[in-house]
Structure 1
Amino acid sequence: MITDLVQARGIRYATSSRFAPPSPVAWDGVRGSTRGPACPQPPSALVAVVGNSVAGLEFSEHCQVLSVTAPAGADGLPVMVWFHGGAYLTGSGESVKYETTLLASEGVVVVSVSYRLGVFGYLRDNLGLQDQFVALRWVRDNIASFGGDPSNVTIFGQSAGADSVYALMLTDTESLFHRAIMQSAPLGTRSPERPSMTAALQAAVEVDATTPIEDVLAAQAAAMASVGPQFAPSGGMPFAPVVEGDLGAAASRVELLIGHTADDGSPYVPSREHWEAVTELIFAAGARAFAADFEAAGGEVATYLFKWAPEGAPLGSCHCMELPFLFDPESWLGAGMLAGAKPDPDLSRTIRTTWASFAREGLTALPSRTLEFGE
């Protein structure tokens, strides 16, 4: 394992006015040491499960920043670009919960991206998705300065971050990345109703460029409460990119690893009977279907199931349970889902090694096209 690392935090890759497309910012070569801001947001609905992912961060609409962690002296290493989850409403790539030192120690360059959320990013024009594309162009143009190979880029994300990976795969026309990992993507919230729901949200949210941030967030909450229930299950994640893409084109150029946790649905419903149904409806069925469609379109794909759960954990192997194994486990200690336990270190190494090996060599590096982690 590599222990000598270089980190650069809070690098601005774009700027914009409210509700305007992002304008790329040329990198000046300065490697900052301060974590950048998070998009203004409400408290996470999963704070009791995972803890506060934005603790210690400032909030700003100018949240288009990224951070890089790389082995010192790197040259031509594979690049992994992380898109955080949070239902497109909460979270930040700058979060300490996504500390990437252990993953980068596997011999990869890791980039964590922050982007606009909620009304700021997804009320209209897929602005958050536009932010993500600008960040990927920044990686293409600048990552060699950190020893990364711009011709070997893997994008990966969890929950809404995995949904972002889905949207990026279907709409990338520049070959900005070459592999993709989708962790617990809520593909069950994607339906033909999504464009209609987005239009209803646009009608319900009456804000402009001068509306105070707290009033924007209040209008966002009110619109979600009134519009979301009309469009189940899509209403469970009302703000998200509306995309139409070419699956065949994506399958021809991207290798895919896709999976979920065994009990992804447990934080969202009160009983085991219901959480099994939600896991299937929102996460598992969509992962299976997308993997099958991707393969039918000519793509190469592997699937995984993450099953580890601490003894006595009330939510089983719930949504987000794999994250402490991929990132720094110390920042996750005390999270409700762990029930006082610590992530198994051997399994942690296995997860990080598997992800990094896939980024390095693709599906040929995996022991199987069907993977299971934990008991």
Structure 2
Amino acid sequence: MLINTDGLVRARGIRYATAARFAKPEPVAWDGVRDATRRGPACPQPPSALASVVGSSVDGLSFDEHCQVLSVTAPADAAGLPVMVWFHGGAYVTGSGESTKYDASLLASEGVVVVSVSYRLGVFGYLRDNLGLLDQLAALRWVRDTIAEFGGDPANVTAFGQSAGADSVYALMLTDTEDLFHRAILQSAPLGTRGPDRPAMAEALRELVSADASTPVDEVLAAQQAAIADVGPRFSQSGGMPFAPELGETGLAAAASRVELLVGHTADDGSPYVPGPEYWEMVTELIFAGPARQLAEDWTAAGGQAATYNFKWRAEGAPLGACHCMELPFVFDPDAWLGAGMLAGQKPDPDLARTMRGLWAGFARNGMDALPSRSLEFGG
């Protein structure tokens, strides 16, 4: 069953794949009618380390390892519209695409079909075999095969994500050999954590975590947290995000030839992760801003098209400035973010929010031609 209100169709909790623990995902197909009025489950997870900054992203959701679900938001009269596929952040250990914080109603009202994806996290998704990444690829295949039924154009798909979700899009660009998406928006991708020590750290995680198909979920999560606490200090460059897709030789040139790229960061992305403002700029530059600029340069050098952005808006009196996640209320429903510590009791600027949603949707529709500049700034 679909929900049709305010001229939009919403389908929640659609299962795109299934998998046993530590097994590769298998696509799910069905005949007949399924209930699509309720949000699907989130992957089992610990509390978010950024809860004081952004609030909880999993309030009201159930938890289940079988979390390969997605939700679709589309104009009721959609036909051949651009598709935007959202991958949530959370350091690959927390979050869910089913979160109310990613309500895409306002974005879909810009004339796009939005798909929000949930995938396996932490030990369940990234201890070995890139299972979470395989979940995401399965979701993109579902979009290719099914989205036309919701009025989306499978030949015009933009993958976009924030934080670990943006890192996911980066990994997907370099591993997709099926032309599953055609444009990409990377919001605050922590590409600086992809240091040379990541392979050794991944191996250390596998040595530390002992879990099989019968290990209770709470024991898996306890082992995960203990492993993170162990490897973080030992692998300083990558230890800030221990669980992530493992990438071999990158196919950047091939990806650049087929994907238009918009990549950027917030002005104070690093502020939630360090003890004082004197370190904000250094961490922001090392982990977020510098790698974003470098990726855009490499993309262009490889023959692709790339643009960058810097999000500078900050709430008056906000303790962490234009911090990590600050742009999210400007892309999704701002009311869902009210009360987040980063907003210091204020509402996002509605005019800037309309501008951002319009540019994001315009980029999904027409790529670089929709952008007023190859170097964008928002707020500040």
Query: Scaled by the length of structure 2, what TM-score is found?
Result: 0.97
- Note the alpha carbon deviations across 1:306-356, whole angstroms, 9 max, x for none: 000011111000000000010000110000000000001000000100000
Structure 2 distance, partners of 1:359, 1:177, is 10
**Map of 1:9 onto structure 2:** 12
**Map of 1:198 onto structure 2:** 202
Q: 2:317 aligns with which of 312, 315, 332?
A: 312
- Give identity over the alignment, percent: 75
Matches within 5 A, 1:86-235: 86-235=90-239
Structure 2 distance, partners of 1:163, 1:337, is 22
Structure 1 distance, partners of 2:281, 2:214, is 44
**Map of 1:267 onto structure 2:** 272
Question: Does the alignment pair 1:54 with 2:58?
Answer: yes
CA RMSD of aligned residues (A): 1.0
Retained in 1: the 8 A contact 2:197–2:237? no
Q: Which amino acid aligns with 2:36?
A: G
> Where in structure 1 do 4 or more consecutive aligned residues deviate above 6 Å?
none
Question: Does the alignment pair 1:63 with 2:67?
Answer: yes
Matches within 5 A, 1:278-357: 278-357=283-362
Structure 1 distance, partners of 2:278, 2:287, is 15
Which consecutive unaligned segments of at least 5 residues does structure 2 have?
Answer: none
SS across alignment from 1:235: coil
Structure 2 distance, partners of 1:303, 1:282, is 16
Q: 2:85 aligns with which of 75, 81, 85?
A: 81
Which consecutive unaligned segments of at least 5 residues does structure 1 have?
Answer: none
Structure 2 distance, partners of 1:255, 1:121, is 28
Q: Which amino acid aligns with 1:110?
A: V
**TM superposition shift of 1:258:** 0.3
Retained in 2: the 8 A contact 1:181–1:257? yes
**TM superposition shift of 1:31:** 5.7
Deviates more, 1:28-37 or 1:310-319: 28-37
SS across alignment from 2:189: coil
Q: Which amino acid aligns with 1:365?
A: A
SS across alignment from 2:265: strand
**TM superposition shift of 1:30:** 3.5
SS across alignment from 2:361: helix
CA distance 1:317–1:186, shift in 2 (3 Å): same
Retained in 2: the 8 A contact 1:67–1:112? yes
Q: Count residues in correspondence.
A: 374
Query: Scaled by the length of structure 1, what TM-score is found?
Result: 0.99
CA distance 1:14–1:140, shift in 2 (3 Å): same
Retained in 2: the 8 A contact 1:12–1:27? no
Q: 2:246 aligns with which of 242, 247, 254?
A: 242
Question: Does the alignment pair 1:254 with 2:266?
Answer: no
**Map of 1:18 onto structure 2:** 21
